[in-house]
Amino acid sequence: MMKKFPPIEKILEAYTAIADGHVKLENDQALVTSSNKAKTYTVTLSRQYLYFK
C-alpha cells in the first residue's frame, strides 16, 4: 500500500509516457516501454495492489 504520493516529477513523467504512447493496456496489465525503447516493463493491475515486474 502506498503511504505517500510520489514526487510530482514522477507523476508528470507518467503522464508524458502515456501521451507519447509508451503505455499499452492489455487485459489486467499495462506494458510500459522505456523512452529509448530498450526495455519493457509489465505492470499487473488488481483492485487492491499494483505489481511491477
The top-scoring range by mean pLDDT among 12-16, 18-22, 27-31 is 18-22
Whether 44 is in a domain gets the answer yes
CA dihedral 1, 28, 30, 51 (to 10 degrees): 30
Whether 2 is in a domain gets the answer no
CA dihedral 46, 27, 32, 44 (to 10 degrees): 20
Whether 3 is in a domain gets the answer no
Mean model confidence pLDDT for the chain: 83
pTM of the model: 0.63
pLDDT band at residue 3 under the 50/70/90 scheme: confident
Q: How many domains does the chain have?
A: 1
Residue pLDDT, tens place only, 27-43: 888 899 988 989 999 98
Whether 1 is in a domain gets the answer no
Supply the range of the domain harboring residue 24.
8-52
